Amino acid sequence: MSKTANRSIARTSPKSFWIALFGLLTATGPVIAEEGFLETITRNQFLAPTTLDNGDGNPYAVLVAPVSVGDIEKDDVLVDNFNNISNLQGTGTTIIRYRPGTKETKQFAKVSQQLKECPGGVGLTTAMTMLKTGWIIVGSLPSKDGTTRTKGDGCLLVFDAKGNHVATWAGPNINGPWGNMATIDKGDKATLFISMAGFGVPSFDVIDPQTGYPVIVNKATVLRLELNIPNGKPPVIEKETVIASGFSQRADISNFLFGPTGLALAPDDTLYVTDGLDNEITAIEHASTRTDSAGKGRLITKDGLLAWPLAMLRTEAGHLIVANGKNGQFVEVDPKEGKQLYGYWANANQAQSPPGNGNLFGIAWGPDRKSIYFVADDINALWTATP
Partner 1 sequence: MEQKNMNWMKTIGSAILGFGLITSVFASTGPEPFYGVHQSGISTPAQLNTYFIAFDVTTTKKEDLVKLLKDWSDAAVDMMAQPEQFDKNADPTKIPRKSGASVGLSNAALSITFGFGATLFEKDGVDRFGLAKKRPEALVNVPVFTGDQLVPERTGGDLSLQASANDPQVVEYVVRRLAKLANGVAVMKWAQPGFNGAFKAGETGRNQMGFKDGTLNIPTKDVKLMDKHIWVGNEGPSWMQGGSYMVIRPIRISLDHWDDMNLAFQEETVGRHKSSGAPIGKQKEMEELGLKRTDAKGKPVINEYSHSAISSPENNEGTQILRRAFAYDNGITKVNERWPPWRQLTTFDAGLLFMCYQKDPRTGFIKLFSKMAQIDMLNQFTTHTGSALFAVPHGATKGHYIGQDLFED
Residues at the contact surface with partner 1, assessed by CB under 8 A:
18, 22-24, 46, 48-49, 51, 53, 55, 57-58, 83, 85-89, 146-147, 253-256, 349-352, 357-359, 377-381
The answer to whether 36 and 332 have CB atoms below 8 angstroms apart is yes
Compare residues 85 and 237 and give the one whose CB is closer to partner 1: 85
Compare residues 10 and 253 and give the one whose CB is closer to partner 1: 253
Shortest Å, Cβ 350 to partner 1? 4
CA dihedral 290, 295, 298, 300 (to 10 degrees): 110
Compare residues 51 and 133 and give the one whose CB is closer to partner 1: 51
Which element (helix H / strand E) includes 364?
A: strand 363-365
Other CB atoms within 10 Å distance of the CB of residue 311: 28
Shortest Å, Cβ 51 to partner 1? 5
Shortest Å, Cβ 100 to partner 1? 17
The answer to whether 215 and 283 have CB atoms below 8 angstroms apart is no
For residue 378, the number of C-alpha atoms closer than 13 Å in the C-beta half-sphere is 22
Compare residues 185 and 378 and give the one whose CB is closer to partner 1: 378
Contact residues for 377 (Cβ-Cβ < 8 A; gap 6+) = 57, 58, 59, 358, 359, 360, 361
Amino acid letter at 366?
Answer: G
- How many whole angstroms separate alpha carbon 194 and alpha carbon 206? 27
DSSP H helices, the chain, are 3-12
The answer to whether 331 and 337 have CB atoms below 8 angstroms apart is no
Shortest Å, Cβ 93 to partner 1? 16
Shortest Å, Cβ 64 to partner 1? 22
The answer to whether 384 and 373 have CB atoms below 8 angstroms apart is yes
Compare residues 213 and 338 and give the one whose CB is closer to partner 1: 213
Shortest Å, Cβ 178 to partner 1? 16
Contact residues for 254 (Cβ-Cβ < 8 A; gap 6+) = 358
Compare residues 16 and 228 and give the one whose CB is closer to partner 1: 16
Compare residues 58 and 261 and give the one whose CB is closer to partner 1: 58
Compare residues 265 and 379 and give the one whose CB is closer to partner 1: 379
- How many whole angstroms separate alpha carbon 65 and alpha carbon 185? 13
Name 95's bridge partners.
80, 109
Shortest Å, Cβ 369 to partner 1? 26
Shortest Å, Cβ 138 to partner 1? 21
The answer to whether 295 and 246 have CB atoms below 8 angstroms apart is yes
